[in-house]
Amino acid sequence: MLSVMEALLDVMDPESDAAARPATGAVALLDALVACGVEVIFGYPGGAVLPLYDALHGEPRLRHVLVRHEQAAVHAAEGYARSTGRLGVVFVTSGPGMTNTVTGLLDAMCDSVPVLCIAGQVVTPLIGTGAFQECDGVGIARPVTKWSCRLEDPDAVAGTVRRAAADALGGRPGPVLLEFPKDVQLAPVRLHTRQAEAAHGPGAAPAVLPLEQLRAAAALISGARRPVFYGGGGLVNSGLAACDAFTRLVRRTGAPCTLTLMGLGALPASDPAFLGMLGMHGTAEANLAMHYADVIVCVGARFDDRVTGDLARFSPNARKIHLDIDPSSINRLVQVDVPLIGDCAALLAGLERAMDEGPAGPADLTAWWASIERWKAQNCLHFEAQTDVILPQHLMRTLDGMVAGRDAIISTDVGQHQMWCAQYLAFERPNRWLTSGGAGTMGYGLPAALGAQVAHPDHLVVCVSGDASVQMNIQELSTAVQHRLPVKLILSNNGYMGMVRQWQELNHGSRYSHSYTAALPDFVAVAKAYGWGARRVTDPTDLPGALRECLDSDGPFFLDVAVAELSNCFPMIAAGAAHNRIMRDATTYYDAEL
């Protein structure tokens, strides 16, 4: 006689389940995802998506990661996608299940992350009647996705999934939503095949490179006396080939290079040409170099407001070359001299060839680097470690030393801790830095780290968060335990919504209106209740040992670090304001003749 467990295992046998499944819309969708190369799904079930989950039961080709909130499902899919370059996939139900994904979809849209969200919907006859858990998912998602549509024909499911995956990954990547009514999930598919061709379309046509524009760009770079390379998240999205080509061009020209928040890692931080991050919280040398440049080569970035500051005074004397896959990003904010539209990898390879064919260069950059070295000497990120309190800068620098050489993946939430991480952590490779840039989403960090850990089970994955941000999706501590994901969470705990408080000090007369997060929980007790290892540290002398315990633990570990309450994240400066805001107080002024 079979034991209860043996009987249960027999019922759950993947092969018997898969063989017995009828060909339905739900089955067709799963087969199409597999044929598109999908291996992992992040999701949360509900009534309107149960046929899809029933088809998923016993499906040996797909791993499902059950999260605790639909917003977290999208952020986890983002972490998976950003750390791999692959498509992140999400399953949710209708109504609140779908609406809970909107923040994540916005985040993916802003940061160009390829996510495919499959949202259940009530049966087709009830759409528009105000049925239980019904909403217009397609309409709601339209402003925060590249494309959204409803699956209405079960025979068209595979083709629509193929288009959705291609749309999410193609061009400037981003999120796509497919609404899947329950009756279409259950409907039989007349012409269904389990073969890969059901989900593969024709390959993309080879890009036609704009040769004249590439030659013009090469000539500008070769003749520049004060060039700067400026890279963004598009470089990382384009892949390792793009980052390698970018690095070769920087080294070939001998020019300085700066990266945006989303571009960190595209050029190794240890490269002598790297000036650090630019923008509002960037280094003085990066912003001043951008301000005084005569040629700027922008690759995969979009001149956003956190980088430019005052547009009227942004890099006023620079000729600008802009490489971007999104035509709408060209000349949107900053008028450029040489636009190059296409994939970064192809364009950078073409630019290398154009420079091989063009005049010898670049010009002598000795005077330019001498000026940059004087700006570096200001040491704008310098701090003095304290003996009685842990400074957040000290925390980040100590963490950086401990993860060096371990190929760690770092995620963050949003706020001061995010900027301190960007300033003090050195990223040597792309796809190792996961953060919310365009949307600035508190609650991103923990689920993104979980998604990255799913994709990279053997890597050290660390989430750095703040005491306000971490509570946005703290329930995902449970997801880590259920799925045995050994993520490390390091909390920079100052008892405030730190960036909000900082802005209130600078712009609102230090009136701390609702930015003090009173009644914080005992984070160690909370983490242990979820099954995490946990510790709190308050003494600077204990910090190295506590970090070592956290990073070397076998399972998930939550380290609550009490940091100085009123530390601020400086410099708060962008390139367009560099002359007035930095040079006003600089001890060494820029050479007038340049």
DSSP secondary structure of 25-55: HHHHHHHHHHHTT--EEEE---GGGHHHHHH
Indicate the Cα dihedral angle 390, 391, 396, 402, nearest 10°.
-30
| CA 278 remoteness from chain centre | 17
Is residue 481 within 8 Å of 455, Cβ to Cβ?
A: no
How many helices and strands (H and E) does the chain possess? Answer: 25, 18
pLDDT score recorded for residue 575: 58
pLDDT in the model for residue 576: 60
Q: How many Å apart are CA 154 and CA 140, to the nearest integer?
A: 23
Annotated catalytic residues are 70, 132-133, 182, 499
CA angle 78, 36, 444 (to 5 degrees): 5
Q: What is the largest CA-CA distance in the chain?
A: 93
Tell me the H-state helices in 224-343.
233-238, 240-253, 284-292, 305-308
Closest CA to 108 of 526, 444, 533: 444
- Structure tokens, 453: 């850990």
Neighbouring residues of 389: CB distance < 8 A, sequence distance ≥ 6? 540, 563, 564
State how far the Cα of 341 lies from the Cα of 217, in Å rounded to an integer.
13
pLDDT at residue 203, as a whole number? 44
- Pairwise CA distance, residues 89 & 159, whole Å: 17
Contact by Cβ (8 Å): 92, 46: yes
Half-sphere exposure of 391 (CA within 13 A, CB side): 15
pLDDT for residue 192: 58
Confidence (pTM)? 0.91
Residue 106 belongs to what H/E stretch?
helix 102-110
- Summarize pLDDT for 504-537 with one digit per residue, the tens: 888 888 888 888 877 899 999 999 999 999 999 9
Characterize 125-159 residue by residue with b for buried, 16 or more Cβ atoms within 10 angstroms of its Cβ, and e for exposed: eebeeebebbbebbebbeebbbbbbbbbebeebbe
Count Cβ neighbours within 10 Å for each residue of 181-197 and write b for 16 or more, e otherwise: bbbbbbbebeebeeeee
Q: List helix spans (H) across 111-239.
A: 137-141, 157-169, 182-186, 211-223, 233-238
Confidence at residue 174, expressed as pLDDT on a 0 to 100 scale: 98
Residue whose token pair is 């509900």: 46
What pLDDT, on a 0 to 100 scale, did the predictor assign at position 54?
97
SS3 (DSSP) at 412:
strand
**CB count, 10 Å around CB of 47?**
15
From first to last of its 594 residues, the chain has per-residue pLDDT tens of: 334 333 333 333 444 455 556 799 999 999 999 999 999 999 999 999 999 999 999 899 999 999 999 999 999 999 999 999 999 999 999 999 999 999 999 999 999 999 999 999 999 999 999 999 999 999 999 999 999 999 999 999 999 999 999 999 999 999 999 999 999 999 999 875 544 343 333 344 456 789 999 999 999 999 999 999 999 999 999 999 999 999 999 999 999 999 999 999 999 999 999 999 998 899 999 999 999 999 999 999 989 888 888 888 888 999 999 999 999 999 998 999 999 999 999 999 999 999 998 766 667 999 999 999 999 999 999 999 999 999 999 999 999 999 999 999 999 999 999 999 999 999 999 999 999 999 999 999 999 999 999 999 999 999 999 999 999 999 999 999 999 999 999 999 998 887 888 878 888 888 888 888 778 999 999 999 999 999 999 999 999 999 999 999 999 999 999 999 877 777 655 556 554 444 443 333 344 334
Burial (CB < 10 A; 0-12, 13-18, 19+), residue 203, is: exposed
- What is the per-residue pLDDT for 21? 67
Tokens of 39: 């291996």
Cβ partners under 8 Å of residue 160, min gap 6: 149, 151, 178
| Beta strand segments in 2-114, E | 40-43, 63-66, 88-92
**Domains with residue ranges and CATH for the chain:** 4-199 (3.40.50.970), 211-376 (3.40.50.1220), 392-562 (3.40.50.970)
Pair of tokens at residue 107: 């985040």
